[in-house]
Amino acid sequence: MLLYTHRACLAHDAGAGHPECPARLEAVLHAVRAAFPLWNWREAPRASRDALLRVHTRDLVERLLDTPIDGRLRLDEDTAMSLDSPEAALRAAGAGVAAVDAVMSVNHTQAFCAVRPPGHHSTAAVAMGFCLFNSVAVAAAHAVYQHGLERVVIADFDVHHGNGSQDIFARDDRVMYASSHQSPLYPNSGQPDEVGVGNLANAPLAPGAGSEAFRHAWRDVLLPRIEAFRPQLVLVSAGFDGHRLDPLADLVLEADDYRWLSAELAALARRHAEGRLVSLLEGGYSLAALRACSVAHLEGLSG
């Protein structure tokens, strides 16, 4: 297992009291380093503009990277940038690109990107929902265009639907997007009838849903769809805000639910993708849950 991070991801500051804060990543890093002291950490490189432009408009890339920031730049009521945010966003997206390159080599099969800001809400043209660049989408496009893959899946278990990832690939049958998420909840998308060109699979969960509903959604709806797709690479949007302790949502999952699903995704990757799997941190706003769930996730992936 390779692990990617960068100190710049700790410097991104969305404002005092914002739930998407540096302490989130600190909690993950401390927990993972304590649980897996011998694992291989690598410094996340910057994503190139060419990699970003595969999934984002030039206007968005230039706004996020080239706008002078004096104090804080507010993109919407939930999403803001500080002076250090462009570097953090470049490193977060670059981690996904580097991780894909690593697992496509003969030496490694799995990687986890412990980065922030998260990305899966950002559409091609709009940064939103705490997200700047859509890092998992950048990674998927890199796998398609740089490595020639024809079937890449993004499995997203964040409690919020990854509307950006869905929007970017809704008309590209080389990338499948599969998501469980609470509904109703921000961003109020991800219904089962949103199917794209047959490459989208959404399993909404009602507020208060727990382990049984979550595992049913994946075991009986989403995993069979991914299995039929036969992905050559599995990408994971790993958000842990469905945990019962999370303050921003109303699911009641446990760390063991993430361990179970992670093991299922790893097994699927072994069947179809020679084990190749890259996971990127998305949401999760309880520090205690982040610590427990990130370790459970990596335990599940690594067996």
Number of domains into which the chain is organized: 1
pTM: 0.98
Whole-angstrom distance, CA of residue 93 vs CA of residue 164: 14
Q: Residue 101 belongs to what domain range? A: 2-302
CB 140 within 8 A of CB 154: yes
CA 267 to mean position of chain CA atoms:
19
Q: Which two tokens stand for residue 254?
A: 């446990």
pLDDT digits (tens, 9 = 90+) for 262-293: 999 999 999 999 999 999 999 999 999 999 99
Which ranges of 134-286 would DSSP assign to H, the alpha helix? 135-147, 163-169, 211-216, 223-229, 255-272
CATH code where residue 188 lies: 3.40.800.20
pLDDT tens-digit readout, 72-119: 999 999 999 999 999 999 999 999 999 999 999 978 899 999 999 999
| Backbone torsions φ then ψ of 155, nearest 5 degrees | -100, 120
Mean pLDDT along residues 160-179? 98
Phi-psi domain of 134 (left: phi exceeds 0; alpha: psi -120 through 50; beta: other): beta
Catalytic residues: 121
φ, ψ of residue 289 in degrees (nearest 5): -65, -40
Span 106-149, pLDDT tens digits? 788 999 999 999 999 999 999 999 999 999 999 999 999 999 99
